[in-house]
Amino acid sequence: MSIEACIAHAIRSDLDIVQALPEVHAIPVEDLEPFVERYVVMVQESLRNVILEKGDPYLRSRDAAGLCATCLEAGVTIPPAMLLKMCQTIMQLSCLDATFILDTDEGKTLYYVKLTIGV
């Protein structure tokens, strides 16, 4: 799975906007969607840039905590525990060969996954 896809999946599954941005409670409803969208895009770009520039050693060694610390040091603005969970998700997905198939009517995402299991 590409790094971009891994990051997108981690954002979708692990990013809690209310926890990451407590100030969303004070934003008028009509301004909420663009505000959250800008934040998610910024997080995605920040994670992508950090991982592409500095993340290779952490991806190779499967070091989610090291990747998390590197992202925090680079200025990624996500609470550390949430960012660690996202980095763990990215690690898990980066070793998979998966292809997006579709989103179901129930809101679930279907992927074709090919993986190797060592016994």
Q: Which parts of the chain have pLDDT scores under 50?
A: 118-119
Q: How far apart are CA 59 and CA 35, in angstroms?
A: 31
pLDDT at 73 (0 to 100)? 95
pLDDT tens track for 91-111? 888 775 667 788 888 888 887
pTM for this entry: 0.75
DSSP-assigned letters across all residues of 55-103: -HHHHHHT-HHHHHHHHHHTT--S-HHHHHHHHHHHHHHHT-EEEEEEE
